[in-house]
Structure 1
Amino acid sequence: MLPWSGSALGLADLGFVSGRARPFVIGIVGAQNAGKTTLLGAWYLLLGRGLANLGGRRFAGSYSLSGWEAVAGAMRWAPGHPPRFPPHTSSRSGRAPGMLHLALRDEDQGRPVDYLFTDAPGEWFQKWAVNADSQEGIGARWVSDHADAFLVVADREALSGEAMGSARGSLQLLARRLGSELRERPVALVWTKADVKIAPAMSTAIRKAVFDVMPSATEFSVSVIDQSEGDPAPSEGTGLVDLLRWAVDLQRPTVKLPPPMATSEDPLFVYGSRR
């Protein structure tokens, strides 16, 4: 049996997590060092401090608490050690992404809803963006095939640095690849490190790359640094709660069946009779 406080989950654990209902899988895609793991760690810290207002939903447990702690531990203040960014997610560990589990329960409902957030190396997505059948990108392919929704991470720091051209090209390739396989699933363009300024022309180019192929995408800007005026205590960062709430508010499309054809005036037989 999978322990309640295990590390990040793998494919072998999905059957256990799916025991009560199919979980929502949120695919977080982006380049190396774009801030994907930092985003996950920030969410965990906000939930732990009771700062994430999720519209009446409350934390109802996790099968991957050790995994959450691993990505968030470096971001905590410790005596003599200021917070740091989480370590880079290794591209050498397996062919499927690690997944962090979160269960949330509505105040007026008894059954919790399960979410799985993927934590995959950026190198996988770069390989997959160039070649959908690349063996080095097979983990990114899994995310593309199985996610219910996507967060496309755009790193403002990389898009304003010395390698901005390469960062732009990689993100444009990734957007085109994902757009070709989206199948009408929800997607959000997420600008990380929102405190970093980028050229308006760069911002326009990235938006065009995303919205040309995914016109229904939603847009968010996030940062672990609080950019609001004044000195709020404690800090919630910028845009983090809004993005998490968007992710957990998602609903799968439902299938509407046509009404049954009545073959009798007797209401007990409105679904027809065998002949």
Structure 2
Amino acid sequence: MAENCSKEDCYPEETGCNYEGCEVLKDCPHYKKTSATETVESNEEIDSKYFLRIPWTGNTFGLQDLNFLTSTSKVILIGITGVASAGKTTFLASLYCLLRNGHKIGDYHFSGSLTLNGWENIAWYLSWKQNNNIQFPPHTSGNSGRVPGLLHLSLRNNSGEKKELVFTDAPGEWFDSWTINQNDPNADGANWIHQNADAFFLFSDCEMLAGESLGKARRQIRQVSDRIKMGLGSRPFGLIWSKSDIELDAEIVEQVSSYVTNSEISNYSEFKTSVHEGKDGVFYDNILKSISWILETISKQVNKLPTVDQHRADDMFLSKR
């Protein structure tokens, strides 16, 4: 049950009544009144007179929130995959910080987000604190509210063309369970991402590959890549070398890369990224280029509009037969 509503897919305290359209929650037959909600109801009566409730909160999306966006726009869902602590959330936080500071993804610039609070929550850790310290975003918990956590970005180019992107911010434990047993209840989220994503990034943790956990890290990357490649089709698949400020032995890089590409992948690319800028900003540039690569790859797969036969080239309306 969602909060005090008997409907599992309704979150009235956040976005209002989804079923009856009631401006005041106590008027809804599905809403269960408790002593703790009396204050909420009184506030609702006041708010309904002066304010219009919006159907989103700015927080990270859940699946029901995603319905709101997909009903009005074509959305590109990007699956961020990899085991725990591989740098997935840090990559997303870095992407948002770059856009927030005016950087562009190809020809596209930041145009808004329905999950600004969600982005700011993870980006806060990469912002400068006292004594010039920065922190890394905390581990994404498998039970942190309504999962999967989905982060939205709206991009626009100078021609006014818009792209709606949604990134998954999922706990690495999902993918650990997924590699062992696809039917494990703890792997449901990973299965959902694999079935619905339009593109994938698999994170290869250079820090783990350079340390004593080399064998474990290499095995985990192989196992997740095998799962992703099942039924991949023409969907883009990118390998992200996270924490690339840590140098790897060339042989290890070749072993991992060769294994991932040991079967044919229609659209594949690799990117070295890091929370650190790198020489001439190379790691930051690669974060932006990785998203641009997905947009370009997917745009090439769109069918071209057929040519319309016309009698008068100067007037499309009069040319209709």
**Alignment TM-score, normalising by the size of structure 2:** 0.73
1:242 aligned residue: 289
Distance 1:268 1:40, change over 3 A: closer
Contact 2:201 2:240 in 1 (8 A): yes
Q: Is residue 176 of structure 1 aligned with residue 226 of structure 2?
A: yes
C-alpha distance in structure 2 between counterparts of 1:44 and 1:69, whole Å: 8
Q: Which moved more, 1:89-98 or 1:184-193?
A: 89-98
Supply the AA of the counterpart residue of 1:40.
L
Contact 2:106 2:289 in 1 (8 A): no
For this pair of structures, how many residues does the alignment match? Answer: 257
Return the index of the structure with the highest Cα Rg: 2
Distance 1:4 1:168, change over 3 A: same
1:263 aligned residue: none
C-alpha distance in structure 2 between counterparts of 1:66 and 1:98, whole Å: 12
Matches within 5 A, 1:31-110: 31-50=83-102, 52-80=103-131, 82-93=133-144, 96-109=147-160
Deviation at 1:142, TM superposition (A): 0.6
Contact 2:104 2:110 in 1 (8 A): no
**SS, match of residue 276 in structure 2:** coil
Distance 1:248 1:258, change over 3 A: closer
2:302 aligned residue: 254
Deviation at 1:214, TM superposition (A): 4.7
Q: Is residue 26 of structure 1 aligned with residue 93 of structure 2?
A: no
2:182 aligned residue: 132
Deviation at 1:22, TM superposition (A): 2.3
Unaligned runs of 5+ in 2: 1-14, 16-53, 309-318
1:204 aligned residue: 254
1:220 aligned residue: 271
**SS, match of residue 112 in structure 2:** coil
C-alpha distance in structure 2 between counterparts of 1:185 and 1:244, whole Å: 14
Supply the AA of the counterpart residue of 1:45.
C
Cα deviation, 1:16-52, whole Å, max 9, x if unaligned, reads 11132221000010110000000000011111111x2
Contact 1:179 1:214 in 2 (8 A): no
Contact 2:86 2:204 in 1 (8 A): yes
2:36 aligned residue: none
Distance 1:71 1:183, change over 3 A: same
Cα deviation, 1:143-190, whole Å, max 9, x if unaligned, reads 000000001110011111111101111111111111113122111111
Supply the AA of the counterpart residue of 2:211.
G
C-alpha distance in structure 2 between counterparts of 1:241 and 1:255, whole Å: 26
Matches within 5 A, 1:143-154: 143-154=193-204
1:156 aligned residue: 206
C-alpha distance in structure 1 between counterparts of 2:66 and 2:259, whole Å: 33
Distance 1:87 1:169, change over 3 A: same
Cα deviation, 1:81-123, whole Å, max 9, x if unaligned, reads 61111000001236842110000112112x5321001100111
Unaligned runs of 5+ in 1: 261-266, 270-275
Supply the AA of the counterpart residue of 1:227.
G
Q: 2:238 aligns with which of 181, 188, 191?
A: 188
Distance 1:94 1:180, change over 3 A: farther
Contact 1:4 1:62 in 2 (8 A): no
1:112 aligned residue: 162
C-alpha distance in structure 1 between counterparts of 2:283 and 2:274, whole Å: 9
Distance 1:254 1:241, change over 3 A: closer
C-alpha distance in structure 1 between counterparts of 2:190 and 2:147, whole Å: 8
Deviation at 1:208, TM superposition (A): 1.5
Identical counterparts, % of pairs: 35
C-alpha distance in structure 2 between counterparts of 1:236 and 1:254, whole Å: 30
Higher relative contact order (CA 8 A, sep 6+): 1
Cα deviation, 1:212-239, whole Å, max 9, x if unaligned, reads 135341111111212215xx7xx97352
**Alignment TM-score, normalising by the size of structure 1:** 0.85
CA RMSD of aligned residues (A): 2.5
Supply the AA of the counterpart residue of 2:277.
D
C-alpha distance in structure 1 between counterparts of 2:272 and 2:255, whole Å: 16
Contact 1:5 1:62 in 2 (8 A): no
Contact 1:58 1:104 in 2 (8 A): yes
